[in-house]
A = this chain, B = another copy of it.
């Protein structure tokens, strides 16, 4: 490295990485096995490390290095340009917010996650409401320092999770989806041939599910020597870096697909993280570029691949090896249809591919109202239930299966949900591109997932956060987000599953 400032900048990034990775390990620990009695202390610790990271990211050292390096940015390698771009963005964002608020936010997040877990277990929203109010109020207070011309507070949050996405952009996107999905759901509901899926809910012992889950995770490309499959109420993927990227799932004896697809989904995230180029390790671009792109990877593996006919043509014999008696009389077509039954349901993470986006639209609308002060936290259960009735025709029987189901709000992650829908759309878009290069179905049918992983690594994973999401997508085939790939994909698939006429 010839440039001493650049070397100093990388060293500083590395120090920040150490704090970030420690926080990641502690957070994984907190979400999986840490005792409830240590919750207050963990919150204090998280706040301490949050503040240390904040200090480094907003330090004079950082400022001076940015001042020295930004003017010569264009002369540097593309990856260094990206690191500087991201560091500058973070610096600007953080220096606007007082450090005490950042620390308080960290502490509150930590506490809220524990309380949410308890509230969910006890089905008691009133336990969660006070801290949720505090967390939202604090988020709003922090947003006061980040006002941007022509942007509402919620829009600033949306941009945090997916650079370049605004309320009008999301509105247009969701409009495109609604136009196709709403009539399609109706057609599916009225279809003459309704697939049979009850057989899926046969008892599968948790140990068998673990073995099956591990098998499929490794088969599609998860390197478990750099990973781990844990257990939590809400599945997630969390990693310090490509050398340690973990996932979790949950196991229900009477619903093996919950753990199975939970694992495939999170493995999609994990493969992304594990495939970032070595040269980005320990920097601020060493990881997925955005929530939307990240989610495109998990949904690609979970739905586009994992719920395809080709997948079950490959997987049927494997599953029967693990569960010799359970599904003895079933074939690939049975699984394909059973696992693509589209029917309004309560739990987002268990929703089918077709109705899924309705869950997202509900959350998007509720968050927007919350941040535009149109509703109060105490109204959330009622508003939630009314929206479910309106969009999905069902009302949650309790808050555990309603407004308390998701971890996101306890984590202070507002504006995150819409990226899930973005992920679904990008996944379909990437499939279309991939199909132009090789026979994806044939690969899957042969149980060969290497070509898929290779394509994704080549076009997406290796870059980490080198290119902003819209640029990353545009580099692949010259076009940006296009909802049509997704709506075409859904139309074709559900016509096939439900034997609908053209």
Q: Is the CB of B33 within 8 A of A21?
A: no
Q: Is the CB of A37 within 8 A of B244?
A: yes
A29 and B21 alpha carbons, distance in the complex (Å): 13
Residues from chain B with Cβ under 8 Å of A35 in the complex: 224-228, 243-244, 246
One digit per residue, 1 when the CB lies within 8 angstroms of any chain B CB and 0 when it does not, for chain A 218-233 equals 0000011111101000
Q: Which of A372-421 contact B (CB under 8 A)?
A: none
Instruction: Confirm or deny: A150 has a beta carbon within 8 angstroms of a beta carbon on chain B.
Output: no
Residues from chain B with Cβ under 8 Å of A241 in the complex: 38, 41
Q: Which of A327-364 contact B (CB under 8 A)?
A: none
Residues from chain B with Cβ under 8 Å of A25 in the complex: 25-26, 29, 34
Which residue of B41, B225, B246 contacts A36 across the interface (Cβ within 8 Å)?
B225
Copies in the complex: 2
Q: Which of A1-47 contact B (CB under 8 A)?
A: 15, 18, 21-22, 25-26, 28-29, 33-38, 40-42, 44-45
Residues from chain B with Cβ under 8 Å of A34 in the complex: 25, 228, 244
A28-B29, A29-B29 are contacts. A243–B22 as well, Cβ < 8 Å? no
Which residue of B41, B230, B243 contacts A244 across the interface (Cβ within 8 Å)?
B41
Q: Is the CB of B18 within 8 A of A240?
A: no
Instruction: Confirm or deny: A485 has a beta carbon within 8 angstroms of a beta carbon on chain B.
Output: no
Q: Is the CB of B38 within 8 A of A226?
A: yes
* Given A34-B244, A41-B243; 15 other pairs, CB 8 A cutoff: A18-B49, A25-B25, A28-B29, A33-B228, A35-B225, A35-B244, A35-B246, A36-B225, A37-B225, A37-B243, A38-B241, A38-B244, A41-B240, A41-B281, A42-B244
Interface, chain A (partner B; CB < 8 A): 15, 18, 21-22, 25-26, 28-29, 33-38, 40-42, 44-45, 48-49, 223-228, 230, 240-241, 243-244, 246, 281
State the 10 A-B residue pairs at the shortest beta-carbon distance, nearest first: A38-B244, A37-B226, A38-B243, A37-B225, A18-B48, A41-B243, A25-B26, A35-B226, A37-B243, A22-B22
